[in-house]
Chain A
Amino acid sequence: MDPFNAALKITAIGMAGIFVFMFIFYLSIRLIDKFFPGEAPSGNQS
């Protein structure tokens, strides 16, 4: 495969791959946050 066509292929697979990775990380964060939620921020005490 010539470099230009290979570069096009890397672009297509690479960009799709990054989005897949980041989407999985996004789901992971949502899941972690669901099972281990942070404490609700406390309001001002007068």
Chain B
Amino acid sequence: MNIQELLPVLFNITWQHLLMICVGIVLIYLAIAKQYEPTLLLPMGFGAILVNIPLTSAITQIDPETGKAIEGALSVFYEAGIANEVFPLLIFIAIGAMIDFGPLFKNPFLLLFGAAAQFGIFFTIIAATTMGFDLKEAASIGIIGAADGPTSIFVSSRFAPDLLGPISVAAYSYMALVPIIQPPVIRLLTSKKERLIRMDAQPKTVSRTALILFPIIVTVIAGIVAPSSIALIGFLMFGNLIRECGVLNKLSLSAQNELASLVTILLGISIASTMTAERFVRLDTLMIIGLGLVAFIFDTFGGVMFAKLVNVFRPEGKKINPMIGACGISAFPMSARVVHNMGQKEDQYNFLLMHAVSSNVGGQIGSVVAGGLILALVPLLLL
């Protein structure tokens, strides 16, 4: 028996495998040292190492002697939870159970910023098509701009499963980098005078009936207008109904904690099954990472510019601080915190947090609606 038979991995490893193992280590480093979305980036990083060791048993391999497929655990997880979209939907139940729609009832107009700040998704879809991606791939890349990991995974697993790895890495990395990406864009688009605008905060309580009715009504409306979005929006609202109904506290806590934790582990490590060197070490990956950044920048642009447009029609004293527009993305509560801190830097007595949170909650709904619309529109335009 020679050394090649004893240590076959050493003779099968390529520079691409080594590069991917380094990518895995970098993701683990970012998760632990920088705390960038550690719940997802750590399983993905470790999974990237698992699947890039040649002859790994973690993913399905073809036995060279018999020609039969030997199933690997990560491939089984992928087929069981991502290919059929179950894991992202379970995460939506958990997220729904975590969302408090109460702030939206205090200033429902801010819901519209959750629409404007999805502009980055569509700008990126256009940009991706000019770079040679087909429509399904471009839509999957654009959805990084939803700033919503599960929506990105849901859309790309349906339209471009081969790009799932880089899209997930880009989506979660940029979500963690919101405090670095958004402030310079906001400063570039707003004047100091605009950043100093104060907004009145009206103390208001929301009835329990209203909070129970909201997820039901949203689901019914979404189902009527865009049935293909019903899985995304419905699971989110189901989670929220569990939270708000008041009689399922144990289930609500389980959804927020155990369900979220368990599915996140499975989701992260299952995505890693697509991060093989053959799929990941490509020029496309770099382009996707670049386009993801474009998506986040133009989300911020869309939100801020919409706020400035709204201010044209609002009287003095009722104007909206344009920074609030930037919170219309789904990265909750990070984006709201970033804008509140920016407001306090300009004027320590300017408290924007409540408005920023309302806009940010609008962004959580907006991102899911955007995902549902893309799922509905792309197949129609490909007919």
**Contact surface of A with B, Cβ cutoff 8 Å:** 1, 3-4, 6-11, 13-15, 17-26, 28-30, 32-33, 36-41
Bitwise interface map of B from 90 to 125 toward A, beta carbon under 8 Å scored 1, else 0: 000000000000001100110110111011011101
Q: DSSP class of B's interface residues: helix, strand, loop or mixed?
A: helix
Q: DSSP class of A's interface residues: helix, strand, loop or mixed?
A: helix
Bitwise interface map of B from 60 to 100 toward A, beta carbon under 8 Å scored 1, else 0: 00000000000000000000000000000000000000000
B205 lies within 8 A of A40 (CB)? yes
Contact of B126 among A11, A24, A26, A38 (CB under 8 A): A11
Complex-state Cα separation, A25 to B110, whole angstroms: 11
B221 lies within 8 A of A4 (CB)? no
Known: A32-B217, A38-B206. A26 touches B109 (CB 8 A): yes
B225 lies within 8 A of A1 (CB)? no
A24 lies within 8 A of B139 (CB)? no
Hey, which chain A residues are within 8 Å of B56, CB to CB?
A: none
Complex-state Cα separation, A25 to B237, whole angstroms: 13
A4 lies within 8 A of B126 (CB)? yes
Tell me if B133 is interfacial: C-beta within 8 Å of chain A: yes
Contact of A39 among B105, B205, B373 (CB under 8 A): B205
A32 lies within 8 A of B373 (CB)? no
B373 lies within 8 A of A29 (CB)? no
Complex-state Cα separation, A6 to B109, whole angstroms: 31
**Which of B245-253, B268-276, B361-369 lines the interface with chain A?**
B361-369
Contact of A22 among B111, B129, B381 (CB under 8 A): B111
Hey, which chain A residues are within 8 Å of B213, CB to CB?
A: 32, 36
Complex-state Cα separation, A29 to B111, whole angstroms: 10
B112 lies within 8 A of A10 (CB)? no
Known: A17-B373, A18-B366. A41 touches B204 (CB 8 A): yes
Known: A25-B365, A39-B205, A40-B205. A15 touches B118 (CB 8 A): yes
Could you jot down 8 A-B contacts, CB within 8 Å?
Answer: A3-B134, A3-B138, A7-B135, A10-B377, A15-B115, A17-B226, A19-B112, A36-B213
